């Protein structure tokens, strides 16, 4: 997996996906980027993930490709490893 340095805008999209994965216990392969009720992902974050080749648009959703899913899984593993 390539090393990435993400902006906070891009990280917020991964964080949203990680939240849903942690709450549901299921892997997340896509996220809603505009729910039509005022909650929208950052356009800059979307572009950054698209430019990095990690996210593909599908209407109001973004689908992580296999590398994007691997980055998300790594982030979730780091969250789970965090001990307070």
Residue 18 within any structural domain of the chain: yes
Q: At what angle do helices 8-24 and 43-51 cross, to 10 degrees?
A: 90
3-state DSSP of 7-29 = CHHHHHHHHHHHHHHHHHCCCCC
Evaluate whether residue 3 is within a structural domain.
no
Within-domain flag for 53? yes
Q: Which sign does the torsion angle of CA 47, 36, 17, 28 carry?
A: negative
* pLDDT score of 69 more than 90: yes
Express each pLDDT in 3-38 by its tens digit.
Answer: 779 999 999 999 999 999 999 999 999 999 988 898
For the entire predicted model, the pTM comes to 0.89
Considering its fold, how many domains does the chain have in total?
1
pLDDT of res. 84? 66
Answer yes or no: is 15 within a domain: yes
CATH of the domain at 77: 1.10.10
pLDDT of residue 80: 94
Residue 2 reports pLDDT greater than 80: no
Domain assignment of residue 52, yes or no:
yes
Q: Are 11 and 53 in contact (CB under 8 A)?
A: no
What pLDDT score does 47 carry?
A: 96
HSE of 62 in the Cβ direction (CA atoms, 13 Å)?
A: 25
Domain membership flag for residue 22: yes
């Amino acid at each position: 997996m390539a090393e990435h340095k993400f902006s906070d805008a891009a990280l917020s999209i991964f964080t949203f996906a990680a939240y849903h994965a942690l709450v549901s216990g299921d892997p997340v392969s896509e996220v809603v980027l505009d729910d039509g009720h005022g909650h929208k992902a950052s356009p800059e974050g979307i572009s950054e993930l698209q430019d990095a080749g990690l996210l593909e648009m599908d209407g109001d959703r973004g689908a992580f490709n296999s590398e994007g899913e691997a980055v998300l899984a790594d982030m979730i593993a780091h969250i789970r490893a965090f001990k307070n």
